[in-house]
Amino acid sequence: MMELLGIPPQVLFGQLLLGLINGSFYALLSLGLAVIFGMLNVINFAHGAQYMLGAFAAWMLLKFAGINYWLALVLAPVLVGLLGVVLEKLMLSRLYKLDHLYGLLLTFGLALIIEGMFRHWYGVSGQPYPIPQALAGGYNLGFMFLPTYRGWVVAVSLVVCFGTWFMIERTRLGAYLRAATENPVLVQAFGINVPVMITATYGFGVALAGLAGVLAAPIYQVNPLMGSHLIIVVFAVVVIGGMGSILGAVLTGFMLGILEGFTKVFYPEASNIVIFVVMAVVLLIKPAGLFGREK
């Protein structure tokens, strides 16, 4: 069979697909971080833990209540998002007057608590979560085999990312949000309840992480540490993309996932650090990030 650059196409496209799927998660998570950062000026260190919570919520709903994947896809993000609302009301809201660093430190502590509890209960071994019946199997595309579930993840991620972008950039609600990030006092004066909007935004961003967790559950094992590995990479994605734009977060996420997949084919040893190398190069050339605005 034909080979591209000495690599069998099955391998190449297989890794590219894996890269695209990783990219879907990078995009969803950095999108959530960007949404939260835009409104709250907080880097949500607990994002990885909340992603893990989403996966565990789906697993628990199935195991203890027999709730299937499709319902969990809605329920789990709502539950995780509600937890986010509580955390924002009880804790984060006390820190807005202070240095942004305290938000980072608080959410770091929360991440330790959440992950520590789950590791205490479930150890580090993963819990299997079955692929739903309707999405089992796959298609032979001729040049490669596409498992249906993986295609589904990429599709959902694209739809959610585009939907969020549309909501923030093209609707009235989004306009209020963007206005409130620029000048909360003025927006408040127009009779819009900014504190509620802030709380809802945090809940929404956290729910996005939870959704990513549910999507990840059938692919990776549901594992207490699944978020802590991912969060650092997502931070690098955020630095590369720059926090200025929603679209930037999404595009950078997908791009870097694919780049990582390519590296896995041609130089596997470097695949773990390629994103960090890109980050270093971007910082040298464009410190504000590819899509970022210099503040």
Partner 1 sequence: MATHSHSEALRAGTPPQARQGSPALKWAALAALLLVALAAPFQLYPVFLAKALCFALFACAFNLLIGYVGLLSFGHAAFFGSAAYVTAHAVKVWGLTPELGILLGVAVAALFGLAFGYLAIRRQGIYFAMVTLALSQMVFFLALQLPFTGGEDGIQAVPRGHLFGLVDLGDNLTMYYFVLAVFLAGFLLIYRTIHSPFGQVLKAIRENEPRAVSLGYKVEQYKLAAFVMSAALAGLAGGTKAIVFQLASLTDITWQMSGEVVLMTLLGGLGTIFGPVVGAFLVVTLQNYLAGTQLPVTVVTGVIFVVCVLLFRRGIVGEIGALLKGRG
Which of 86, 116, 136, 195 forms a contact with partner 1 (CB under 8 A)? 116
Q: At its nearest, how many Å lie between partner 1 and the CB of residue 88?
A: 13
Which of 7, 74, 113, 186 forms a contact with partner 1 (CB under 8 A)? 113
The pair of structure tokens assigned to 82 is 């509600």
Touching partner 1, residues 222-241 (CB under 8 A): 228, 232-233, 235-236, 238-239
Q: At its nearest, how many Å lie between partner 1 and the CB of residue 117?
A: 6
Could you list the beta-strand ranges (E) of 6-120.
Answer: none
Residue 111 binding partner 1, by CB under 8 A: yes
**Among 166, 161, 136, which residue's Cα sits nearest to residue 149?**
136
Q: What is the DSSP letter of 291?
A: S
Nearer to partner 1 among residue 71 and residue 179 (C-beta): 179
- Sign of the alpha-carbon torsion through 109, 111, 117, 119: negative
Instruction: Give the helix, strand, coil percentages of the chain, each rounded to 5.
Output: 75, 5, 25
Q: How far apart are CA 288 and CA 276, in angstroms?
A: 16
Which of 76, 95, 194, 290 forms a contact with partner 1 (CB under 8 A)? 95
* Amino acid code (one letter) for 272: N
- Sign of the alpha-carbon torsion through 30, 36, 42, 47: negative
Residue 149 binding partner 1, by CB under 8 A: no
Q: Which stretch binds partner 1 (CB under 8 A): 19-27, 74-82, 103-111, 193-201?
A: 103-111
Q: At its nearest, how many Å lie between partner 1 and the CB of residue 15?
A: 18
Nearer to partner 1 among residue 197 and residue 236 (C-beta): 236
Residue 110 binding partner 1, by CB under 8 A: yes
CB contact at 8 A, 115 and 225: yes
Residue 1 binding partner 1, by CB under 8 A: no
Q: At its nearest, how many Å lie between partner 1 and the CB of residue 74?
A: 29
Residue 86 binding partner 1, by CB under 8 A: no
Strand partners, 104: none
Nearer to partner 1 among residue 68 and residue 93 (C-beta): 93
> In Å, how far are 15, 84, 277, 279, 280 from 273, measured between CA atoms?
16, 31, 6, 10, 11
CB contact at 8 A, 211 and 51: no
Q: At its nearest, how many Å lie between partner 1 and the CB of residue 121?
A: 9
Residue 122 binding partner 1, by CB under 8 A: no
Q: At its nearest, how many Å lie between partner 1 and the CB of residue 27?
A: 17
5 phi/psi in degrees, rounded to 5 = 55, 35
Binding site for partner 1 (CB under 8 A): 43, 91, 94-95, 97-106, 108-117, 119-120, 228, 232-233, 235-236, 238-239, 243, 269, 272-273, 276-277, 279-280, 283-284, 287, 295
